[in-house]
Amino acid sequence: MSLAEHITAALQLPTTVVNMYLDDLTDAELLVRPAENMNHIAWQLGHLIQSEHMHVSEVAPDAMPALPAGFAERHTRETAASDEPGDFLSKAEYLQLMHEQREASSKLLATLSDEQLSQPAPEKVNYLGPTVGCIFAGEATHWMMHAGQWAVIRRQLGKAPLF
């Protein structure tokens, strides 16, 4: 199995978990915070989508589909405090963007050899790890870390545990 195939397999679990955690939530429920001063799901989704876009674009600048105009600006540290529904997208819009970005990441990943994935990571994103492969693998960890907070929100909302 190639490095790309291993990383692709690792990305499947967070994609499944995210889809399951979001499946029965409403747009309004995406604005519930797991605790005071913690980020709600809507902001976290935008942050995760923007992050994946930026990370993979550092590896291959033209590989990712463009995000909507102003998307990055709507999901900054400063906007995280907003609870205004109009400041964020709908769940359907976030899911569409999430899947578009992941599809592009996966498509690029499938074209990279073990040698290419073992090359040094671009300096701007090497906090995810020392190699190009680590940039892709880091997405799995990043998405799962945030999804863990969503389990708390689901319980606050009276939803049954999924796992």
In this predicted model, what pLDDT tens digit does every residue of 56-98 receive, in sequence order? 999 999 999 999 999 999 999 999 999 999 999 999 999 999 9
Domains of the chain: 3-156 (1.20.120.450)
Work out the number of other CB atoms within 10 angstroms of the CB of residue 5.
12
Residue type present at position 53? H
Work out the number of other CB atoms within 10 angstroms of the CB of residue 124.
10
Mean pLDDT of 118-147: 96
For residue 55, CA distances in Å to 16, 30, 46, 70, 135 come to: 21, 24, 14, 18, 7
User: Residue 111: what pLDDT?
Assistant: 97
Tens digit of pLDDT for each residue in 6-53?
999 999 999 999 999 999 999 999 999 999 999 999 999 999 999 999
Closest CA to 133 of 109, 103, 104: 109
Tens digit of pLDDT for each residue in 135-163?
999 999 999 999 999 999 999 999 999 98
User: Residue 163: what pLDDT?
Assistant: 87
Give residue for tokens 């992941």: 102
